[in-house]
Amino acid sequence: MSQTVKIQNKTMGVIVEETFADSIQFKIFLQTIHGCLSSKSDLDFFNGMNFLLHIPFDILKESVITTKVDVQTLTEKLMNKSLIES
């Protein structure tokens, strides 16, 4: 099973589309987004290696955020591993 988070802005298009194989990482990322919206702060995320994300609050609040759950084979899961999970 894979979970996808998509942040899409009407003027910028798709800002983030991340697919997670680990449900805990998916939940942490969703809680980070929710916390930024609740506290009216910028979304900043860095996985410590190769994924850096900074979305100003004004852009984040005007964006549509959707999630999706898909069932995948093991091969598809390994090929679609998220940069955040790496």
Query: Tens of pLDDT along 9-44?
Result: 999 999 999 988 888 989 999 999 999 999 999 999
Strands of the chain, DSSP E: 2-9, 13-20, 43-46, 52-55, 63-70
Q: Which residue has the higher pLDDT, 50 or 39?
A: 39
Going from N- to C-terminal start, the domains of the chain cover: 2-79
Q: What is the mean pLDDT of residues 65-71?
A: 88
- H/E stretch holding 11 reads none
* pLDDT confidence tier of residue 59, bands split at 50, 70 and 90: very high
Q: SS3 of 75, please?
A: helix
Residue 46 has what pLDDT? 87
Token output for 25: 């990482």
Is residue 65 within 8 A of residue 18, CB to CB? The reply is: no
